[in-house]
Structure 1
Amino acid sequence: MEGPSERSNHTFETEAIHAGEEPDLDPGGTGDLVSPIHLSSTFAMDETGNPSHGYKYSRLGNPTREALDRRVATLSGADHAMTFASGMAAIATTCLTALESGDHVVAFDGIYGGTKVFFDEYLADHFDVTVEYVDATDPEAVADAVVPETALFWMESPTNPLLKLCDIEAIAAIADGHDVLLAVDNTFATPYFQRPLALGADVSVHSTTKYLNGHTDSIGGAIVTDDDAFADRVRFVQEYALGAMMPPFDCYLVLRGSKTLPLRMRQHEANATRVARYLSEHEKVTAVHYPGLETHPQHDLAARQMDGFGGIVSFEIDGGAAEARAFVESLDLFTLAVSLGSVESLIEHPVSMSASYVPEEERLASGITDSLIRAPIGVESADDLIADLERGLEHL
């Protein structure tokens, strides 16, 4: 891998271990190799106003969180990173920072369901923000949706759960031409496989709950940007309006988890590729969605835009909702659960689980069929994972 940005002289693998956790060897420093967990809610001051150590109250600044912010910024090739209590907190803060009443948003029609609920039931109802969903696999569809009130393009690439991609560089050019902010949810790809800011995006967001942490034991989110003024506004909203910062212990967990991000992502991808190829050849599987397959309609874009194809595979079986539920419930090694991005392999039936609240007509229009299954592939033995899937498919 190349370095995460021109700001670093080291490779991604090196920065994943060292960025943000440089030992303090100054007089009085402790030399910790691992950033201490600063649980204090407030900090003693040596003088009124601005203390010499820079900390007043943990909502306004915490040393453990700042170490993680530096790590995420470095890995993302960004000047700024702010970490939050959840991915949705990062998404909401981005929107509340970027938008005003009466604004218009153009969003990918395949975005994460939680984001869509926030757009439709909060921004629209409480802030008079209009959101228009388009098939952003075609950049012209994004351009055609722009109106004078458009203030934000909201993209995901790849999307959840159908693994659709958008051409970030092409959409960034459209955003620049219309003075529109481009935000990209980069949770699925991670900074290891894709860096949206380098492709022209203004903002990138993550659910650190997923791959950045990678161990199913922390919930969090992040916003990264090179825009100094936008970063200042985000910090104001985070610190003084919402208070939605990541707790220090979770910051420690993500710092620890992110050290193995490169190793894990390579294994996730290797396993996902093998699983996707196996499923694509199975007679009881009618469709496989994975950008690493040459049959994926945007395989060439993925190869050009990303450094790897990720660890999520979604597929459709020959049957309906009942057969899909029976299949996911029959597996032994795959754990039936929502979420993704951890070392364990998970499996879910979106219609019964993560997309159960979406009206049927809207769900089917977006491509989420009754037989669709999403499988975040972990880092176990690919042979064992395929054997588990084979047993489940045999019982269909």
Structure 2
Amino acid sequence: MATSLVTTCVQVIMGDNTKTPVTNGRIVEDVEENNGYLPYPKGFATAAIHVAQEPEQWNALAVVPPIVMSTTYKQFSPANPKKYEYGRSGNPTRNILEQILAALEGGKHGICYSSGLGAITAVVGALEIGDHVICGDDVYGGTNRLFNNVAKSFGITTSFVDLTHLENIRNAIQPNTKLVWLETPTNPILKIVDIRSISDFAKKHNLLVAVDNTFLTPYLQRPLELGADIVAHSLTKYMNGHSDVVMGAVIVNDEKLHSKMRFIQNAMGIVPSPFDCYQVSRSLKTLAIRMKQHSASSLTLAKYLETHPKVTKVIHPGLVSHPQHELFKQQTSGHSGMISFYIRGGLKESEKFLSNLKLFTLAESLGGYESLAELPSVMTHASVPKEDREKLGITDSLIRLSVGLEDVEDLIQDVNEALAIV
């Protein structure tokens, strides 16, 4: 396993005499108890602020890296550029963001794309006609649609299975299977998938494992250290955290895989703008403190919802009632702001609850500083076939919340008042 780049960054900043022991890519000296979870990665915030930020790389010695908007670059002679030649093929602002992302995930290479789905499209683009994918049955609706409809038209087939049971993967493997795609926690049922067990199993069968880490970010979960080959992100969500950028990324360690993903980035042209890259680089500097607040507030609200008579079930991996709570503690440092719960009743009750929220905004997406609420069955997961939604439990009474950074007491009051009207 490669040494964590977060640890490397800390050692560089603190000096060569740093001899702190590392376990699973995390500094473990003087680690405080984290309620049974893995410790938060020390040095994470330091890496987010300092990686690729050296003022010496810019002529003006700018402390904040500039936004380079140029689409083309002067060459010394034909086909002899200094470093960059064309904006789609490379950009200094984008390159900085990619270095930061790789460091935070404990990986070697980050590659940015124009959206989260663009990142998944790039992974699909690395496959060949006739290949087979095993995908989790409970994933983002756009992911389901991409594999189920678009990839199929290019001769790539997909089996959707419950990845919480390893036997389901064993039964789904075909001679042409090349990739296992998973989310953990899943969206929106928040099931927990054992990354290490699946990665160990996949390696025995020469399968790539890709983990969508959007819901937790590398601050709370680091799939590469658990054996995954690819980590994917919708940077639109927690990584940016301000609901003003659409972008995606993948992080890898393997050199051949990196070359392929980099080629696809350029060949498909699914690149983000320099300004958006600047925005995400800025946002990553506060990711650690934001995720701590999201985590604490969502657990407080989840515990409150468990006591409410108009709520039949609450799904939050940090609750002891979650069926994979112990596994979750073994592979993460905690949960984000995501909560799913079933309201007593059906579509009518769900609509009434959602329309009476005042602080929670009824909107798709998640991971911003503002709290959002939605009804997956008719919003984010409407493209999932109805029979599949019903099988998964994505009913008209399932509400998904993205708990933001407001005072949690105000959020509890908002939910309580909306439930009172139902």
Query: In the alignment, does 2:98 pair up with 1:63?
Result: no
Query: In the alignment, does 2:217 pair up with 1:190?
Result: yes
Greater shift in the superposed pair: 28-37 or 302-311: 28-37
Unmatched runs of 5 consecutive residues or more in structure 2: 12-42
Q: Structure 1 counterpart of 2:133, which letter?
A: V
1:78/1:226 contact within 8 Å kept? yes
Q: Structure 2 counterpart of 1:9, which letter?
A: V
Query: In the alignment, does 2:143 pair up with 1:143?
Result: no
SS of the residue corresponding to residue 66 of structure 2 reads: coil
1:1-396 mapped onto 2 (5 Å cutoff): 5-9=6-10, 11-24=43-56, 29-52=59-82, 54-97=83-126, 99-124=127-152, 126-240=153-267, 242-396=268-422
Q: Structure 1 counterpart of 2:359, which letter?
A: L
Please name the residue that 2:35 is paired with: none
SS of the residue corresponding to residue 362 of structure 1 reads: helix
The Cα of 1:102 is off from its aligned counterpart by 1.1
CA–CA separation in structure 1 for the residues paired with 2:252 and 2:228: 9
The Cα of 1:210 is off from its aligned counterpart by 0.3
1:5/1:78 contact within 8 Å kept? no
Matched residue count: 389
CA–CA separation in structure 1 for the residues paired with 2:398 and 2:189: 9
SS of the residue corresponding to residue 370 of structure 2 reads: coil
CA–CA separation in structure 1 for the residues paired with 2:299 and 2:129: 44
Unmatched runs of 5 consecutive residues or more in structure 1: none
Deviations 1:188-228 (A, max 9, x none): 01010001000000001000000110001100000100011
SS of the residue corresponding to residue 263 of structure 2 reads: helix
The Cα of 1:128 is off from its aligned counterpart by 1.9
2:141/2:383 contact within 8 Å kept? no
The Cα of 1:348 is off from its aligned counterpart by 0.5
The Cα of 1:29 is off from its aligned counterpart by 2.2
Q: Structure 2 counterpart of 1:318, which letter?
A: R
The Cα of 1:4 is off from its aligned counterpart by 5.5
CA–CA separation in structure 1 for the residues paired with 2:170 and 2:107: 26
Deviations 1:217-270 (A, max 9, x none): 100000100011011011111102x10111100000000111100000000000
Q: Structure 1 counterpart of 2:74, which letter?
A: A
Over 3 Å counting, the alpha-carbon distance change for 1:234 and 1:131 in structure 2 is: same
The Cα of 1:46 is off from its aligned counterpart by 2.4
2:190/2:316 contact within 8 Å kept? yes
Greater shift in the superposed pair: 271-280 or 126-135: 126-135
SS of the residue corresponding to residue 83 of structure 1 reads: strand
Q: Structure 2 counterpart of 1:34, which letter?
A: V
TM-align CA RMSD? 1.3
CA–CA separation in structure 1 for the residues paired with 2:400 and 2:218: 22
SS of the residue corresponding to residue 270 of structure 1 reads: helix
Deviations 1:29-69 (A, max 9, x none): 211111110011111122222222x0111111100000000
CA–CA separation in structure 2 for the residues paired with 1:156 and 1:95: 16
Q: Structure 2 counterpart of 1:223, which letter?
A: V
User: Percent identity of the aligned residues?
Assistant: 45
2:142/2:383 contact within 8 Å kept? no
CA–CA separation in structure 2 for the residues paired with 1:161 and 1:83: 25
1:4/1:74 contact within 8 Å kept? yes
The Cα of 1:279 is off from its aligned counterpart by 0.3
SS of the residue corresponding to residue 130 of structure 2 reads: coil
CA–CA separation in structure 1 for the residues paired with 2:5 and 2:333: 12
The Cα of 1:23 is off from its aligned counterpart by 1.3
CA–CA separation in structure 2 for the residues paired with 1:333 and 1:72: 32
Q: Structure 2-normalised TM-score?
A: 0.90
The Cα of 1:6 is off from its aligned counterpart by 4.9
